[in-house]
Amino acid sequence: MTNHPATIAADERAQESAEAIARLTGRDHHEIAVVLGSGWAPAADLLGRTVADLPITEVPHFAAPVVNGHGGRIRSIDADGVPVLAFLGRTHLYEERGVDAVTHGVRTAAATGCRAVVLTNGCGGLDSSWSPGTPVLIRDHINLTGTSPLHGAHFVDLTDLYSPRLRDLCREIDPTLAEGVYAQFPGPMYETPAEIAMVRAIGGTLVGMSTALEAIVARAASMEILGVSLVTNLAAGMSGQPLSHQEVLEAGQAAAERMGRLLADIVRQA
Three-class DSSP labels, 52-74: EEEEHHHCCCCCCCCCCCCCCEE
Q: What is the pLDDT of residue 81?
A: 94
Rounded (10°) CA dihedral 19, 226, 145, 59: -20
Q: What is the mean pLDDT of residues 207-214?
A: 97
What type of residue is 57?
T
Question: What's the confidence (pLDDT) of residue 147?
Answer: 97
User: What CA–CA distance (Å, rounded) separates 265 from 270?
Assistant: 9
The residue type of 61 is H
251 vs 221, higher pLDDT: 221
249 vs 11: which has the higher pLDDT: 11
Q: Considering 19, 31, 95, 191, which one is annotated as catalytic? A: 191
- Mean local confidence (pLDDT), 122-130: 92
Say if residue 115's pLDDT is above 90: yes
Q: How confident is the model at residue 56 (pLDDT cuts 50, 70, 90)?
A: very high
How much of the chain exceeds pLDDT 90, in percent? 75
User: What are the tens digits of pLDDT across the range 154-172?
Assistant: 999 999 999 999 999 999 9
pLDDT tens-place string over residues 61-104: 999 877 655 568 999 999 999 999 999 989 999 999 999 999 99
41/84: higher pLDDT: 84
- Angle (nearest 5°) at CA 156 between 5 and 267: 100
Least confident of 4-18, 210-224, 253-267: 253-267
Q: Mean of the per-residue pLDDT values for the chain?
A: 91
Please enumerate in sequence order all residues whose Cβ is within 8 A of that of 123, keeping only pairs 6 or more positions apart, or say none: 182, 206, 207, 208, 229, 230, 231, 232
Residue 44: pLDDT over 90 = no
Q: Where are the alpha helices (DSSP H) in the chain?
A: 5-25, 99-111, 164-173, 193-201, 212-220, 245-254, 256-269
Is 191 among the catalytic positions? yes
pLDDT for residue 188 is more than 90: yes
User: What are the two backbone dihedrals, phi and then psi, of residue 5, each rounded to the nearest 5 degrees?
Assistant: -55, -40
Question: Is the pLDDT assigned to residue 239 strictly greater than 70?
Answer: no
CA distance 213 to 217: 7
CB–CB of 125/200 below 8 Å?
no
Architecture of the 5-269 domain: 3-Layer(aba) Sandwich (3.40)
